[in-house]
A and B are shown apart, each in its own frame.
Chain A
Amino acid sequence: MAGVLKPPGAFAVTPHKVSVCILLQIYAPAAHISVPFPFSSVAQHNRLGLFLLALTKACDDIFEPKLEELISQLREIGGLLHHWLTDHLTNKLSTLSSPDDLFNFFSDMRGILGGTDSGVVEDDQVILDPSSNLGMFLRRCVLAFNLLSFEGVCHLLTNLGIYCKEALSNCPPYEAQHLDDSSNDLEVLSQYENMDLENFVFEKVTEEIEARERASKRVPFHLHVPKALCGLVEDIEVLVDPKSKHGDKGREVCQYTHSTSDALRDIDPNGGMFLRTNWQIQGFLHEQANAIERHGGSYSFNAFELIMKQLQKYAPELHRVHYLRYLNSLYHDDYFAALENLHCYFDYSAGIEGFDYVPPSSGCNSLGRYEIALLCLGMMHFHYGYPKQALEVLTEAVHVSQQQSNDTCLAYTLAAICNLLSETGISSTTGILGSSLSPFTSIGISLSVQQQLFVLLRGSLKRAENLKLKRLVASSHLAMARFDLTHVQRPLLSFGPKASMKLRTSPINVCKELRLSSQLISEFCTETSAMTNEGDFSTAWLKNLHKPMGSQVLSEESGSGSFNVFQCCAQPSSIPGSVLQLVGSSYLVRATAWEIYGSSSLAKTNALVYATCFSDVSSTSDAALAYVKLIQHLAVFKGYKEAFAALKIAEEKFLTVSKSRILLLKLQLLHERALHRGHLKLAQQVCDELGVLASSVTGVDMELKTEASLRRARTLLAANQFSEAAAVSHSLFCMCYKFNLQVENATTLLLLAEIHKKSGNAVLGLPYALASLSFCQSFNLDLLKASATLTLAELWLSLGSSHAKRALALIHGAFPMILGHGGLELRARAHIVEAKCYLSDPNFSVSENSDVVLDPLTQASDELQVLEYHELAAEAFYLMAIVFDKLGRLDDREEAAASFKRHILALENFQDEEDPLVNML
Chain B
Amino acid sequence: MSSKENCRNELRTAIRQLSDRCLYAASKWAAEQLVGIEQDPAKFTPANTRFQRGSSSIRRRFHTNESTSTPISGVLYVSTPVMEEDEVVDGDFYLLAKTYFDCREYRRAAHVLRDQIGKKSVFLRCYALYLAGEKRKEEEMIELEGPLGKSDAVNREIAALERELSTLRKNGTIDPFGLYLYGLVLKEKGSENLARIVLVESVNSYPWNWSAWSELQSLCTTVDILNSLNLNSHWMKDFFLASAYQELRMQNEALAKYEYLQSIFSFSNYIQAQIAKAKYSLREFEQVEAIFEELLRNDPYRVEDMDMYSNVLYAKECFSALSYLAHRVFMTDKYRPESCCIIGNYYSLKGQHEKSVVYFKRALKLNKNYLSAWTLMGHEFVEMKNTPAAVDAYRRAVDINPCDYRAWYGLGQAYEMMGMPFYALHYFKKSVFLQPNDSRLWIAMAHCYETEQLSMLEEAVKCYKRAVNCNDREAIALHQLAKLHCELGQLEEAAFYYKKDLERMETEEREGPNMVEALLFLAQYYRGQKRFEDAEVYCTRLLDYTGPEKETAKNILRGMRLGQSSFPSMDVEHFPP
Contact = CB atoms under 8 A, between A and B. Distances in A.
Interface of A: 1-4, 6-12, 149, 151-152, 155, 178-181, 255-256, 258, 266-270, 275, 278, 313-318, 339, 343-344, 347-348, 350, 366-368, 370, 373-374, 377, 389, 392-393, 395-396, 399-400, 403, 434
Given A267-B159, A268-B156, A392 B454 contact: yes
A347 B143 CA distance: 27
Given A180-B189, A180-B191, A396-B421, A315 B148 contact: yes
Given A1-B364, A269-B159, A367-B388, A6 B419 contact: no
27 contacts: A1-B364, A2-B396, A3-B388, A8-B147, A9-B147, A10-B146, A10-B147, A12-B147, A151-B143, A179-B190, A181-B191, A255-B191, A256-B191, A266-B159, A266-B160, A269-B159, A275-B148, A315-B148, A316-B148, A316-B150, A318-B148, A347-B411, A348-B392, A367-B388, A368-B387, A373-B420, A396-B423
Contacts of A339: 426
B426 A343 contact: yes
A393 B419 CA distance: 12
Given A268-B156, A317-B148, A317-B149, 13 more contacts: A1-B361, A3-B393, A6-B147, A6-B148, A10-B148, A11-B147, A180-B191, A316-B149, A347-B394, A348-B395, A389-B422, A396-B422, A396-B453
Contact of B393 (A2, A152, A344): A2
A347 B148 contact: no
B418 A400 contact: yes
Contacts of A269: 154, 159
Given A2-B396, A3-B392, A373 B423 contact: yes
Given A1-B361, A350-B388, A393 B422 contact: yes
Contacts of A152: 143
A434 B146 CA distance: 46
Contacts of B305: none
A434 B419 CA distance: 14
Interface in B418-447: 418-423, 426-427
A395 B422 CA distance: 10
Interface size on B, as a range, is 35 or more
B236 interface: no
Contact of A256 (B143, B194, B395): B194
A314 B152 contact: yes
A96 to B, nearest CB: 20
Nearest to A4: B389
B179 interface: no
B421 to A, nearest CB: 7
Contacts of A151: 143
A149 B418 CA distance: 42
B431 to A, nearest CB: 13
A266 B160 CA distance: 7
Contacts of B193: 181
Given A350-B392, A370-B418, A374-B423, A267 B148 contact: no
A344 to B, nearest CB: 7
B150 to A, nearest CB: 6
Q: Which 9 A-B pairs rank lowest in CB-CB distance, beginning with the nearest?
A: A3-B389, A10-B147, A317-B149, A315-B148, A266-B159, A347-B395, A180-B190, A368-B388, A2-B393
Contacts of B255: none
Contacts of B160: 266-267
Nearest to B456: A392
Contacts of B473: none
Nearest to B163: A258
B381 interface: yes
Interface string B377-421: 110010000111111111110010000000000010001001111
A6 B453 contact: no
Contact of A270 (B154, B374, B393, B426): B154
A318 B190 CA distance: 22
Contacts of B144: 155
Nearest to B397: A2
A116 B391 CA distance: 46
Contacts of B32: none
Contacts of A255: 191
B192 interface: yes
Nearest to A351: B388
Contacts of A317: 147-150
Given A316-B150, A347-B411, A370 B423 contact: yes
Contacts of B189: 178, 180
A442 B152 CA distance: 57
A391 B536 CA distance: 49
A331 B193 CA distance: 32
A344 B389 CA distance: 14
A508 to B, nearest CB: 41
A403 B419 contact: yes
Contacts of A1: 361, 364
A370 B192 contact: no
| Residue of A152, A178, A180 with highest tally of chain B CB at under 10 A | A180
Nearest to B398: A347
B386 A3 contact: yes
Nearest to A3: B389
A267 B427 CA distance: 42
Contacts of B395: 344, 347-348
Interface string B172-193: 0000000000000000011111
B147 A366 contact: no
B387 A367 contact: yes
Nearest to A277: B147
Nearest to A318: B148
Given A266-B159, A266-B163, A315 B150 contact: yes
Contacts of B147: 6-12, 278, 317
Given A10-B147, A151-B143, A370-B423, A2 B392 contact: yes
A395 B393 CA distance: 27
Contacts of B423: 370, 373-374, 377, 393, 396
A348 B391 CA distance: 7
B180 to A, nearest CB: 19
B349 to A, nearest CB: 21
Given A155-B143, A314-B152, A316-B148, A2 B381 contact: yes
A400 B154 contact: no
Contacts of B191: 180-181, 255-256
B388 A366 contact: yes
Interface in B186-213: 189-194
Nearest to B192: A181
Nearest to A7: B147
Contacts of B392: 2-3, 347-348, 350
